[in-house]
């Protein structure tokens, strides 16, 4: 399937991902065989997923979490490039977290659409709450909160950052937001954060949350899920950033903590 505006590049990237990460796709197949089909209520829908544009804290590798850090100049240019790619794909609605970096990304994309569309904010799409770690680098956290940092690295799914939330809590609200976004025959964009986007992919594809780190998510890259009646969604595009390469705005991959 060739998506409008992809010029085939996205599918090439997905193909490369499939070849280099066969274990993930094998697991997807195994999980589909083991699990009863999720009764998606929709006719065929396409759900696009993007991570917000770059921020200064992304550049500095500082943990963002719930801290409201705005896009920097580069991040706005990345959002403009993505908006140009999506301009030929009529979206029905954009869902975004209520933090300014995702909200501004969504608004830039909405402004380039052929018709006015709603931009709906939901706190469920926020990044993980990293509590007292926010504003610090990983190295600083390892020094200031050594015991909590060590426990979190050993038990990342169920262990919370100091004063924050664990990944399973994030996964529950991200899954809830995704399920609400899937609408009958609609083309939807979700503008969110790295950790949240990976949680959505695990939820939609019925993967173990522990597999989240296998999904690369660059700033303003584009992923897509095809939702079919009575079947689990199908991953048709993953972390495609060809629209950024064209204007020399290649995104930072970052870490799971920098939002």
Residue positions annotated with a catalytic role = 52, 127
Q: Retrieve residue 232's tokens.
A: 């689990």
Q: Retrieve residue 54's tokens.
A: 């770059």
Instruction: Judge whether 134 and 141 are in contact, CB under 8 Å.
Output: no
Residue 69 has φ and ψ, to the nearest 5°, of: -100, 125
Indicate the DSSP class of residue 112. T
Per DSSP (E only), the strands in the chain are 45-51, 93-96, 119-121, 187-192, 222-227, 234-240
Q: Which of 210, 194, 208 is nearest to 49 (CA)?
A: 194
> How would DSSP label each residue in 158-180?
TPPPTTS--HHHHHHHHHHHHHH
Taking the C-alpha atoms of residue 1 and residue 11, their distance in angstroms, rounded to an integer, is 8
Helices (H), 61-145: 73-86, 100-111, 138-144
Instruction: Judge whether 84 and 112 are in contact, CB under 8 Å.
Output: yes
């Amino acid at each position: 399937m060739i998506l409008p505006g992809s010029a085939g590049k996205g599918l090439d990237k997905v193909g490369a991902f499939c070849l280099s990460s066969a274990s993930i796709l094998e697991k997807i197949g195994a999980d589909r065989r083991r699990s009863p089909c999720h009764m998606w209520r929709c006719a065929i829908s396409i759900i696009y997923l993007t991570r917000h544009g770059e921020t200064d804290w992304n550049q500095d590798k500082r943990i963002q979490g719930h801290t409201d850090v705005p896009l920097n100049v580069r991040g706005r240019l990345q959002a403009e490039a993505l908006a140009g790619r999506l301009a030929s794909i009529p979206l029905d609605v954009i869902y975004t977290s209520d933090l300014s970096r995702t909200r501004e990304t969504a608004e830039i994309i909405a402004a380039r659409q052929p018709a006015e569309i709603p931009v709906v904010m939901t706190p469920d799409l926020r990044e993980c709450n990293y509590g007292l770690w926010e504003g610090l680098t990983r190295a600083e956290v390892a020094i200031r909160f050594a015991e909590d940092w060590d426990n979190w690295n050993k038990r990342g799914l169920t262990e919370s950052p100091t004063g924050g939330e664990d990944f399973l809590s994030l996964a529950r609200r991200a899954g809830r937001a995704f399920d609400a976004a899937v609408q009958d025959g609609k083309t939807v964009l979700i503008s969110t954060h790295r950790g949240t986007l990976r949680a959505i992919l695990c939820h939609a594809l019925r993967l173990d949350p522990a597999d989240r780190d296998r999904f690369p998510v660059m700033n303003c890259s584009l992923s897509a899920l095809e939702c079919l009646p009575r079947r689990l969604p199908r991953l048709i595009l993953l972390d495609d950033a060809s629209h950024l390469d064209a204007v020399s705005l290649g995104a930072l991959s970052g870490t799971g903590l920098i939002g």
